[in-house]
Structure 1
Amino acid sequence: MILALDLYFRSNLSQIDKNDEEVIKLSKILNSLHIHSNVPDESLFRNPNGVKMKLANFMRFDKSKSAGLARGGKLEELIWNEFAYRSDYLRKVALSIMNNIASIPEFGIPDEEEEEFSEGTVLFRRHKIIERNRKVVTEVKAKALAEGNLRCKVCKFDFFKEYGEIGYGYIECHHTIPVSEYTNGMKTKAKDLALVCSNCHRMLHRRRPWLTIDNLLNLTGKTKTF
C-alpha cells in the first residue's frame, strides 16, 4: 500500500489505467515479494487490475479529486493518514522498501510488532536483520560488558543485577538509523546501535517517526550518564 500510495502521488493520476506502464511495473514488484503465507490465485493476486483498484480507492480520501470509489479497507485509510501529508517521507520510505526487497527472507510467522509497524513488512524485517547482526551486536555488548556499562541506555536497567546469572550478558540492541534511510547493502556499524531494555526498545518504536534515545530520556525525566 505504501508503494501504491507513492505511485498515486508521483503519477498525479486523474485516469487510472491497468495498462499504464507504472501500474504494470508495480504489479510485478508486489508479486515478487515473498512476504505472504498464502496466495489464493497468482493470476489475480496483485495483478495490474488490482493495483488500479487500489489506486482508485485512495482517491476517496483525496480532497483534490472530485470522485473516488466509496469502498476499500481500513488499512488504506490508516496508510493515507500516516503518509499522505508527509510526501517527502513517503517517497523516502518507498525508495527504502525498493532498495531492500532483495535482502528480505521469505515469509515467516509475523509477530505483534511486525503487525504494528507502519512502514511495512519489508522494512520491519530489514530492521530486525540489522538489529540481530550477530557480529556487530556481540562486539557492542562485549565492549559495554568490559566497561561495566551493560545496562539500558535510557532507564539504566541491568539484567544481571536484577535477575542474577540468567541475566548476565543479556540486553537488546536498537538500530538508531531511521528505516527510511536504509539502502541496499547497508552495513551495520557499532555506533548505530544503542543498548536498551525490552520495555524502552518497544517505546522507541512506539511513535512515528521513531523516538530517539534523547527523546525517551526526556520523557522519563532521566539524564544521559554514558
Structure 2
Amino acid sequence: MKKKRSPKWHRDELILTLNLYFDQNSGSFMSDNPKIIALSKTLNKLPIHPKEVKAESFRNPNGVAMKLSNFTAIDPSKTTKGLESYSKLDEKTFFEFCDRLDELKRISSIIEHSLGEIEILNELNKIEDEDSDIINEAFEGEIVYKLHKSRERNSKLTDSKKKEVLKKTGKLECEICSFDFYKTYGEVGKGFIECHHIKQLSTYQVSQKTKSEDLALVCSNCHRMLHRNRNDMSIKTLKNKINQDK
C-alpha cells in the first residue's frame, strides 16, 4: 500500500516555524529539541489540514527540523548551507517577516492562543473557504484572517449595528458605493447588508472586544475588495477610488 504523503506546508505553519527559527533561545535544529517537539504538537492541532490528508509522519519533529533547515538555506546571513529543497512560499514568507520580527511574534502568539480556545476553534471551522484566494494572500495567514471574519459574522453584533444605522438614516446602504439591497431587490433584499471590521488585521488582538464603531456596513462587492487589499485598502481609500473612476 502506497504511503500517504503529508500536504504542502501552509502559510500559518510557516509563520509559527519561522518564529521559532528567529527565537534566539531556540537551541539546535534537531528533532529531539524540546521546542521543536512542542512546535510539532502545535502544528498538528492547527485547524487547517483535514485528518484524512495527514500522514503518520505529519509535521513530526523531524519534519519541523527539516523546515527550519530550509530557512537556514534561505537566510542570507547564515554561512551554513541548510536544506535547499525549500518552496517559493518558504522563501516568500521568510523575506516578508525577516525584518518584522515583532509582528511575526505577535501573529504567532494569536495563532497559538486560538488553539487553546474551543469556542474560537469552532468559529474558525464555521468560516467557509469561499474566500480561499483571499485567505491564501492574507499576510497574517488563514487563522488570523478567519478570526477577523468571525467577528464580522457575529450576528448579535451585526444586528445591533444594522438597527443603529436604520434608526439613524432609515436605510441600509453600502458606506462605500451607496448600494442598497432593499432598493434594488425589494423585499428579498430587505435588511440585508454585510458588516466589515474596519480595524486592520495587523492590529488584531485576541482579547479585544468589537464595538459598533468598529464595524462598517458594505455591499458584498466592496467587502470583497477590501479584503483583497487588506494591508492598504480602507473604506475611505476604496470610496475615493470609486469616485475617481466615475
State whether TM-score is above 0.5: yes
Q: How far apart are 1:185 and its partner, in Å?
A: 4.5
1:110 to 101, 114, 129: 129
Cα 1:196/1:220, change in 2 over 3 Å:
same
Q: What secondary structure is seen at the aligned counterpart in 1 of 2:129?
A: coil
Counterpart in 2 of 1:89? Answer: 103
Cα 1:51/1:138, change in 2 over 3 Å:
same
2:163 to 142, 145, 148: 142
Cα 1:88/1:209, change in 2 over 3 Å:
farther
Matches of 2:61 and 2:228, distance apart in 1 = 34
For residues 8-157 of structure 1, what are the structure 2 equivalents within 5 Å? Answer: 8-11=21-24, 15-37=28-50, 38-42=52-56, 44-66=57-79, 67-101=81-115, 102=117, 103-105=120-122, 110-111=129-130, 112=132, 113-146=134-167, 147-157=169-179
Matches of 1:122 and 1:168, distance apart in 2 = 32
Q: How far apart are 1:73 and its partner, in Å?
A: 2.2
Counterpart in 2 of 1:182? Answer: 204
Q: Are the equivalent residues in 1 in contact too, given 2:138–2:230 (CA < 8 A)?
A: no
Percent of aligned pairs sharing the same letter? 44
Q: Are the equivalent residues in 2 in contact too, given 1:99–1:183 (CA < 8 A)?
A: no
Instruction: Quote the RMSD (CA, aligned, Å).
Output: 2.4
* Structure 2: gaps of 5 or more residues: 1-13
Matches of 1:6 and 1:173, distance apart in 2 = 32
Task: Return the letter of the residue paired with 2:121.
Answer: I
Counterpart in 2 of 1:200? Answer: 222
Q: How far apart are 1:118 and its partner, in Å?
A: 3.5
Q: How far apart are 1:180 and its partner, in Å?
A: 3.9
Counterpart in 1 of 2:11? Answer: none
Q: What secondary structure is seen at the aligned counterpart in 1 of 2:143?
A: helix
More helix by share: 2
Which digits, 9 at most, give the CA deviation of each residue in 1:68-126, with x for residues without a partner? Answer: 32112232123224323322322221122122222123757633233333422221221
Cα 1:138/1:173, change in 2 over 3 Å:
same
Matches of 2:61 and 2:73, distance apart in 1 = 20
Cα 1:88/1:40, change in 2 over 3 Å:
closer
TM-score norm. by structure 2 comes to 0.79
* Structure 1: gaps of 5 or more residues: none
Q: Are the equivalent residues in 1 in contact too, given 2:138–2:145 (CA < 8 A)?
A: yes
Counterpart in 1 of 2:240? Answer: 218
TM-score norm. by structure 1 comes to 0.85
Task: Return the letter of the residue paired with 1:52.
Answer: A
Q: How many residues align?
A: 221
Matches of 2:175 and 2:110, distance apart in 1 = 28
Cα 1:88/1:220, change in 2 over 3 Å:
farther
Q: What secondary structure is seen at the aligned counterpart in 2 of 1:205?
A: helix
Matches of 2:95 and 2:222, distance apart in 1 = 26
Cα 1:10/1:208, change in 2 over 3 Å:
farther
Q: Are the equivalent residues in 2 in contact too, given 1:27–1:47 (CA < 8 A)?
A: yes
